[in-house]
Structure 1
Amino acid sequence: MNKEPFFWDKYSDQPQIIKDKTYKREMRKKYLFDLFKMLFSSILVLPFALIFMKFFKGKQELSNKDFLGLGVNLDKDDKENTQQKLVEELGVKNLIIRIPLWDMKNIDSYVTFAESFNENSPKNILLNIMQDRTHIESHHLLKKDLNLIFKKFQNIASEYQIGTTINRAKWGFFAVKEYLEFYKVAQDLRDDKYKNLKLLGPSIIDFEYYYNIRAMFNFHNIKYDKLSALLYVDRRGAPSNTQYGIFDTKNKINLLYTLAKLSSKTSDEIYITEVNWPLSNTAPYAPTSEKECISNEKYCKYMKEYIQIAKQSKKVQKVYWHQLIAPGYGLVDNRDGKIKKLPQFYTFKEVLNKDKE
């Protein structure tokens, strides 16, 4: 991704903020009409969604092991198979693995990495296809590289999240229209050559459901087999904290599920593919500023609450914790080459292995 003005922050595992403000402003201007479409569709859809929110009941009844998943990353891999051993210790069977399109030269390493988790017990692997600006602009290149990914992973994974964090410019997309066209490339390829695969989208981060509405209510010929969301809560506090007065985690899930039920562009199966809290005193590894960070003790408490809320809603099929090894927000700290299991590692293991919440 290190191609101006997009640069990767290896500490927080995400792109840096775009520093070229002129470029960012010009790209926003280019898609000003799409922003108007998003506003217009939100005005039309949101009131109906709020009205119907109380009427749609959840139906998912899953064990914690079926419900919970975990992110593992090739760039945290080592010769000791640390992640593989930690996954076995936890007993987690649902994994999400990032595949950056800008790192296609190492695709075989990602294949080997994914396969390594199946050596002791089979895992359900969801691949998170991460975009860059080059692949957004070149659909020919996108199709070529997606075809290679689908081909190489066809015996390893059947579910693919197409794109991620699409409502943050630093991740490459400047309008939902760009994402819809990006997703259509993947969908057409799947329909033509890989009919057994399931594609997930649109991967909106945080509580910005006006982006969801634009991505889920439109005239583009696309459909998400499952709805993916990176559903973080208020970074400064508990899952019970609210935004816009009434939207705590429970109601955020309720609204997302309602949008899924009302939309013809998706099934009502929801995967939350990323959630965590940032940890105090871990800069530059924390993905936010220190004022949003919390202690390990609060992290454990909030983790339990979040998982319980999502599971009891019966409207979420899976929650993937982001991620196993990450000093600034994960379950394990690997600074200085040492593996330190944080309290939340044991909390996740405890919750995962409970038969019932």
Structure 2
Amino acid sequence: MKQPFAWDHYSDQPAIIRDRALKRQMRRSALPSLIKTFLIALITLPIAFLLIPFIQRRTITGKDFFGLGVNLDKEPNTTPYLIEELGVQKLLIRIPLWEMDRLHEYVAFIRSFSGKHITVALLQDREHITSPDMTRDHLIQIFEALEEVCETYVIGSTINRAKWGFFSVNEYLDFYGVAYELKKTRFPHLKLIGSNVIDFEYHFSAHTLFNLAKIRFDALGSLLYVDRRGAPENTQMGFNLMGKINLLFSLMSLSPKTSHELIITETNWPLKNTAPYAPTSEHECVSEEDYAAFMVRYHLLAFASQKVSCVYWHQLIAPGYGLIDNREGLLRKRSAYEAYRMMKSHLGDAEFMSYSHNADEYRLICTTPRGDLYITWTLTSAPFYTYKAQS
């Protein structure tokens, strides 16, 4: 029998479906759910767009805003020291459900980050999507193993890409429902982050937020990549990064399925000349200098929106998209590493005051224990941090 699954080493993906006939069959079976997705989006997205000016933002401080993704398979012994050097308190660690035989390794890795707030992202494969009993057993093992270490979990990832196993939102809602039932019956203290749509495909987000499934998200997760548009200020269908955040936050605020907290669980830019490690083609890749600039401006815009509780940058170490390159057994800190450290040092204890921009300049003003912080930047110059004493 032809094996329909194969492993993709470079994009951290599960075994993906290779059999085209099987894939076509799955897509046909998902058609009713896809029609439902279209109809829900047709109703809810225009309403969310119209209500953007009337949706109140949250109060987001720098203390809880900055997060980093770290990986067991990328310099696990050195990573804790690098995290301390950056001053990051919030980490996202991914556990693939198809690697349950390595659970003890993941638990040890997570425990190595003493005093940090850990969010664990549970990655699915097709086998777990179609086997709720196995998923339930594996989730119980993970929740019990991390009982005193982690209370926050991202349930599923990249749900709108068939190569990650899901062929419809209905399948995802059933998958999430397994975790939600465990939360209600056995682990009430857990915080479950759901939805986790990748890119600006909010018709899928709408369906996760408006449905009759007996589930609820403690926070809404989004893999809000904007890399294919270049700079975060660039637009897609008329929406730049802040516009996309505003629309998603408005959509979420209308939903009875969430606590109205938005978390960006993954984003980055792919880097030039890093094939085969870059997750996209060379056409979408950027230079290390642009990567550092876009990364900082992404964070500044997301913080200025005051609608994103945390941004988890993906990730600390990765040849094709990380702050550090670890090819050939060497650790090379890219310019983005220092840019991230500087940004975190200025904004890590900041409180938002105001944001404005014109055609040529962007300005974010915050208050800090060191005085009022003024951050200005343009599309061609790096952010400039200045302080003014509080009167």
Matched, 1:312 2:308: no
CA contact (8 A) 1:96 1:320 kept: yes
- Give the Å deviation of 1:22: 2.0
- Give the Å deviation of 1:37: 0.3
CA–CA distance in 2 between the matches of 1:46 and 1:155?
40
- Number of the residue aligned with 1:103: 99
- Give the Å deviation of 1:76: 1.2
CA contact (8 A) 2:14 2:125 kept: no
- Give the Å deviation of 1:320: 0.2
Instruction: State the AA in 2 paired with 1:115.
Output: R
Matched, 1:342 2:334: yes
Q: Give secondary structure in 1 for the equivalent of 2:150.
A: coil
CA–CA distance in 1 between the matches of 2:111 and 2:276?
31
CA–CA distance in 2 between the matches of 1:127 and 1:68?
16
Task: Answer with 1 or 2: which has the greater Rg.
Answer: 2
Matched, 1:14 2:6: no
Matched, 1:124 2:123: no
CA contact (8 A) 2:14 2:98 kept: no
Matched residues, number: 348
Q: Give secondary structure in 2 for the equivalent of 1:203.
A: strand
- Give the Å deviation of 1:21: 2.4
Matched, 1:73 2:71: yes
- Give the Å deviation of 1:43: 1.0
> Which structure ranks higher in relative contact order (CA pairs < 8 Å, sequence separation ≥ 6)?
1
User: Would the alpha carbon gap of residues 230 and 196 (structure 1) be closer, same or farther in structure 2, given more than 3 Å must change?
Assistant: same
CA–CA distance in 2 between the matches of 1:300 and 1:8?
31
CA contact (8 A) 2:275 2:320 kept: yes
Share of identical aligned residues, percent?
A: 50
Q: Give secondary structure in 1 for the equivalent of 2:54.
A: coil
CA contact (8 A) 2:49 2:247 kept: yes
Q: Give secondary structure in 1 for the equivalent of 2:95.
A: strand
CA–CA distance in 2 between the matches of 1:324 and 1:305?
18
CA–CA distance in 1 between the matches of 2:198 and 2:3?
23
Give 5+ residue unaligned stretches, structure 1. Answer: none
Q: Give secondary structure in 2 for the equivalent of 1:353.
A: helix
- Give the Å deviation of 1:234: 4.1
CA contact (8 A) 1:184 1:222 kept: yes
- Taking only aligned residues, the RMSD between alpha carbons, in angstroms, comes to 1.4
- Give the Å deviation of 1:353: 1.3
- Give the Å deviation of 1:225: 0.4
- Give the Å deviation of 1:15: 4.8
Match of 2:187 among 194, 198, 202: 194
User: Would the alpha carbon gap of residues 315 and 4 (structure 1) be closer, same or farther in structure 2, given more than 3 Å must change?
Assistant: farther
TM-score normalised according to structure 2 size: 0.87
User: Would the alpha carbon gap of residues 27 and 232 (structure 1) be closer, same or farther in structure 2, given more than 3 Å must change?
Assistant: same
- Give the Å deviation of 1:17: 6.8
Instruction: State the AA in 2 paired with 1:72.
Output: V
Match of 1:282 among 274, 277, 283: 274
Aligned pairs (5 A) from 1:27-46: 27-46=26-45
- Judge which range, 142-151 or 232-241, deviates more: 232-241
CA contact (8 A) 2:324 2:332 kept: yes
Give 5+ residue unaligned stretches, structure 2. Answer: 351-374, 376-391
CA–CA distance in 1 between the matches of 2:86 and 2:7?
30
CA–CA distance in 2 between the matches of 1:313 and 1:236?
19
CA–CA distance in 2 between the matches of 1:322 and 1:284?
17
CA–CA distance in 2 between the matches of 1:271 and 1:105?
29
Matched, 1:260 2:259: no
CA contact (8 A) 1:232 1:275 kept: yes
- Number of the residue aligned with 1:251: 243
User: Would the alpha carbon gap of residues 345 and 303 (structure 1) be closer, same or farther in structure 2, given more than 3 Å must change?
Assistant: same
Instruction: State the AA in 2 paired with 1:148.
Output: Q
Q: Higher strand share goes to which structure? A: 2
Q: Give secondary structure in 2 for the equivalent of 1:151.
A: helix
CA–CA distance in 1 between the matches of 2:231 and 2:16?
26
CA–CA distance in 2 between the matches of 1:6 and 1:56?
44
Moved >4 Å (runs of 4+): 15-18
- Give the Å deviation of 1:272: 0.1
CA–CA distance in 2 between the matches of 1:190 and 1:22?
37
